[in-house]
Structure formats: structure tokens, C-alpha cells
Structure 1
Amino acid sequence: MNDSRHQNEVTLMNKVTIVGSINLDTTLYLQRVPEPGETIRIQKLITSGGGKGANQAIAAQRLGAKVAFIGAVGTDDVGQQMLNLLRAAAINVDGIAQLADHTTGQAFITVDEQGENRIMINAGANTAFTPEQVRQSQPLITTSDFLIAQFETELKSTLEAFSLAKKAGVKTILNPAPAIASIPPELLALTDIIVPNETEAEILTGVHVYDEKSAQLAATKLADSGVSIVVITLGKAGVYYQTASQQGLIPALRVKAIDTTAAGDTFIGALASVLQPDFSNLTEALLFGNQASAITVQRLGAQDAIPFKDEITPD
């Protein structure tokens, strides 16, 4: 997973800092998910680096950004392994705390023959990361172009990070995953771009999201909360976006998906890697994210599946 071949290719890089989760992923590839009480054989097992935050960091770096990470691991062997993976990817790990009283996070993932995944998480150190530890990494946040966060870490730590970012004029991207029924209004007020998938958008808004029209209804509800830009990923249906002045659906590329595990994380990392801080190239950045995630779903695993920038073919 050494990304050194790409470290010197980009001269003008977005600076992206991610506050998020770091996990060891154990992925089980199955013909189908077993019924209650049923035992079935797995077809393949893979262990790899994961966590929504770490996946997004890897994606942003591979796709052209200069990336720093803020989060936590345990002092166990798994934690050291995850730190080494991020360092090998040329990601700044100065903001990652090593917590002696907690194990490193782990995720257990099943993937069926349609490439659809189901994810179960043991959060470990990810939820022990405090606002005080975020403040210790303030320089990483305030010197960034974009700050990204998800909901696999403590909400109060995300709120602290977004507050520091907004005071410094840094643009914020919130990936509300795993979804919660109600996002604190003060966090939404600090969010420039929110990027849920269709399931998360439904949980947040109560709108069943399945096509462009329903995505528009959900996006309008989210925009009414004060978020500048709403981007809803719709899987095979594409990506719906809405700003104060424009909206539209970007169709998904037609590919054969074998594993969708890191598709959303790839999309978000790709978006942050090329988006201008004034959002002037939003449509182009969304198209770039679409292309990157289309490559990811054609490969097995999470971080191993994320493409490099030179694999993206311009339209």
C-alpha cells in the first residue's frame, strides 16, 4: 500500500484534514447473507486498513491532496499497523493519539455476490477521542483548505473540529455516517457540504430517497437547516447535488460492481482533493468523484480498492 510513487506528482494540492475513524477491516465475501440460525461457507476473507476516516484520507491523498489525519488508535499491534499504513501513504499522522486504555477500532464486513456490503463496528479508540485532543491538533485544521468528518467518532469532537475550522475560514465537509436521527443544529450551522447516501438522507429527513425527485425533496430539507451544498450519493442511480443556485443529477458510470465497501469514502476523498475552496468547479469535482468511486467498486477490499489519480481518465 505504499503510495510514494505519487507523492511528487501534484504541484498545487488541496490541503485536506480528516477527523475520523481508523479501523482494521475484516471482510467476508459470501454468496449470500445467511438466514437466522443458518451456517454457510465464506468464499474469501480479507483483512486490511479501514474506517471511514482512514479510507477518505487514503482516497484524498491518492487522488491529489496533501492530507493530515486527526483521530485515535490503541497502543496494540493493530494500532501500530494502522499508523504504519497511513505513514506509508504519505499522510501526516501527527494528530493521531495512541490511547493505552482502548483497543484500536475494528470493522467486520460481509459482501454478497451483488457487491452489496453490511458493516458492523467495534469502535474502540475511535469513540475515546476527545475535544481536547482535537484542540491539540488545531494547526492541522486551521492550515487546511477542507476539513472532513464522519460519525464514527465522538460528536463533540467533530463539533470542536468544525468550530475551529470555521473560525479559520476552512471549508467543512460532513459525511453523516453512520446516520443519526438528528444532527445537532450547531453542527449543521458549521457545515458547508453534507454528503449522505440515500439511506442516511432518509434517516435524516424522513424522505424515502430512491430517485432524483425524492433526492431533491431530501436535499431541500437538509438545505433548509443551513448547509450550503447538499450532495446525496444514490449508488447505481448516481449523485444528486443542490446548491443555492443549481441542482442536478450526475448519472453513475455503468460498471460491474463486485464490492461497494469504500465507494462513498472514495467519492468524498476525491471530491475534497480537487474541489476549489470557493466551490467554483463543483460539477467537475463531483464528476471526478463519480469516476473514482466507479473504479473502487470494481475491486475487492476498502483501501486496497481506492484508485490513484493517474487511473482517472478525463471525460
Structure 2
Amino acid sequence: MIYAIGEALIDFVPEPGGLYSPQPGGAPLNVAAAAARLGGHSALITQLGRDAFGDQLVRAAQAAGVNTDHIRRTDTAKTGLAFVTLDEGGERSFAFYRDPSADMLYGPGDLDVQPQAGDLLHFCSVSLVPGPMREAHAEAIRRFRAAGAGVSFDLNIRLPLWPDPAECRAAVWDFLPHADLVKVSDDELPFVTRSGAVAELLVGQVQHVLYTKGPHGAEWHTRAGLLAEVPGFRVEAVDTTGAGDAFTGAVLAEMQRRGHRLSADLDAEAVQHLLWRAAAVGALTTLRRGALAALPDQTRLAHFLEEHL
């Protein structure tokens, strides 16, 4: 099972005419949904408010095929919101409303997952702000590592959530060495490293680094160096929200399907296949507005790959 832990929230996405449409989102949910839509087995670990937006998120997760048994509900706080702004190229920025949101109040004592070897835990930096959810991440990582399960970390930097960028960088480095796989984008790498080199991230338990470059493709690095790379797909992007999460979900789902373990070495041919599919999924996700609403299933992915072979 792929377990994604962290925030699930409502993205208010701009529509033509200046109106905003409430769309299910949040990076952990996006990753879990992307994996499930592509035939993977995934679950979400989070907390939502006992409100209409929380109901919408649970329905959306279930519709995507995500296991929702580990989603808690609370009356203490509301479900988180984010307003998305898009530029002419579909690139987005976020304004978050979490003061605090229900997911931020999820603590270590709320964890009800008993991981097994072969499972995988995925997390992002949004939920590493100081508070109960950060401590829940630390406990979840401890449990998964003790069980022999894999750990995946997408940096997913969102600086507006942090009072000081240095605090965000410090949190990333507190957690990064405990992951087997790290995903970083080309705009995040200069922020978290001194030299701008991917090799700086191969520390502690980290064995694999996925380096994504938007429309310019992606690279897969190991301690031995660059293992594989793929170019980007040329598409007319409408909304890039969730594209990186879709990429990650595609990688994790295909690794699960093929029985690949993060603790084991992967050959260049296998990695090339993983990157190619993931890049296609990321590109497809940019063709529609919203995150979950844009995620492709296996049929749509197969058609897209046939057209681009």
C-alpha cells in the first residue's frame, strides 16, 4: 500500500470570467489519487473538518480509488483552503487559509496505521510546519522504517506557509535524510542546496532523487550519478496545479505494480520506463483545470503514449 500523509484541502481554481471553482487538492491527496487512478493501491492519512469541504474531499478521494479508512474528522477546526493564481502559461501560485486547519491538528496519537514491509510512506514539506502534524510525520516515518517499508519525500516547497524561509529549509533537512526517495523540482533545488547540485540531496537514507524540470523533462539520480533522463512532452498547458504530484504518483504506482523496492538498486532501463510514464502523466495533468479532476487514468495515459511514441 502507498500511504500519503499530510494535508488535503480545497483549491479554489480560477475559471474564465473571474470566478473560482472549489477543487479537491493538497499534494498528499493528489499523489494518492494519481497512484490509484493508474491502478495502484493507495491510502490517505490526514484529518479534515466535519464540514462540507471535508465531505467533498472524502468523496473525491473515494471516487479516485483512494482508501479513506485513515482520514479522521474533527469539529475543532475547519478543512484547509488554498486560492490558486495562474499566469498566462498556466503556472500557479498559492494563498493558503490554514489558521489552523484540521489537518494541522493531527498528532502522533492519531496514527492508526500498522505498516508492513513492502508498503511505502509518502510525505511533503507543507505539513512540516511546527505542530502536531509535523510530529505525526516523524512518528510515521519511524514506524515505516522499523517495518522495513519505503519512504518517499516530495519537497513541494510553499514558502508563504513559513514565517522565515530559513525555517522551511531547516525542516526539509531535518526530514530529508530519513527518506529513500526524494523528489525535487528545478525551482526548488537552488533553495535547498548550497551548490545547486542534485548530489547534495543524496545523504542519510536517500538512494534515489527525482529531479523534475517542468516542460524540459526529468532526471533520476542515484549515488552512482545520473541513471536516466527523459525530455518533456510538448503540450499546451492550461493549469500546472498537481502536475508534479501526478508525476510522483505515477512513479510510485508503477514501482508498486512492478514490485520495485526503494531499498533496492534499479537498472537504467526500468528507471527510463518509470520516468517516461510519469512525465506523460504530468503533462496530461496540465491539460485540464484543477488537480484531481485532471488526473489521467490508465486508458487516457495509454492513448497519450501511443500518440507520442
TM-score band by shorter chain is 0.7 to 0.9
CA contact (8 A) 1:185 1:225 kept: no
Matching residue of 2:110: 133
AA partner of residue 285 (structure 1): L
- 1:84-137 Cα offsets, whole Å, 9 max, x none, are 221222221111111211100111101122111111222311211111112x22
Q: 3-state SS of the aligned residue for 1:82?
A: helix
Aligned-residue offset at 1:185: 5.2
User: Structure 1 residues 142, 122: CA separation in 2 closer, same or farther (over 3 Å shift)?
Assistant: farther
Aligned-residue offset at 1:187: 2.5
1:187 paired to 2:175? yes
Q: 3-state SS of the aligned residue for 1:108?
A: strand
1:91-240 matches, within 5 Å, as 91-123=66-98, 124-134=101-111, 136-137=112-113, 139=114, 141-142=115-116, 145-153=119-127, 154-178=133-157, 180-183=168-171, 187-207=175-195, 217-240=196-219
AA partner of residue 90 (structure 1): G
AA partner of residue 62 (structure 1): R
User: Structure 1 residues 218, 235: CA separation in 2 closer, same or farther (over 3 Å shift)?
Assistant: same
CA contact (8 A) 2:151 2:180 kept: yes
Matching residue of 2:130: none
Matching residue of 2:253: 273
Aligned-residue offset at 1:188: 2.6
* 1-structure distance, mates of 2:176, 2:84: 30
Matching residue of 1:210: none
- 1:16-73 Cα offsets, whole Å, 9 max, x none, are 111121111111247xxxxxxxxxx62x532211111111111010012011110010
Matching residue of 2:229: 249
User: Structure 1 residues 186, 109: CA separation in 2 closer, same or farther (over 3 Å shift)?
Assistant: closer
Q: 3-state SS of the aligned residue for 2:95?
A: strand
Larger mean Cα displacement after TM superposition, 109-118 or 178-187: 178-187
AA partner of residue 253 (structure 1): F
Moved >6 Å (runs of 4+): none
* 2-structure distance, mates of 1:56, 1:121: 19
- 1:266-298 Cα offsets, whole Å, 9 max, x none, are 001111000121353333212111010111111
* 2-structure distance, mates of 1:169, 1:117: 37
Matching residue of 1:89: 64
Aligned-residue offset at 1:143: 6.0
1:18 paired to 2:4? yes
1:308 paired to 2:297? yes
- 1:215-239 Cα offsets, whole Å, 9 max, x none, are xx52111114541111121112211
User: Structure 1 residues 186, 117: CA separation in 2 closer, same or farther (over 3 Å shift)?
Assistant: closer
Q: Give the unaligned 5+ runs of structure 1.
A: 1-14, 31-40, 208-216
RMSD across aligned positions (CA): 2.0
Superposition TM-score, scaled by structure 1 size: 0.82
Q: Give the unaligned 5+ runs of structure 2.
A: 128-132, 159-167
Superposition TM-score, scaled by structure 2 size: 0.84
CA contact (8 A) 1:19 1:149 kept: yes
Aligned-residue offset at 1:178: 2.5
CA contact (8 A) 2:237 2:286 kept: yes
Give the number of aligned pairs.
Answer: 278
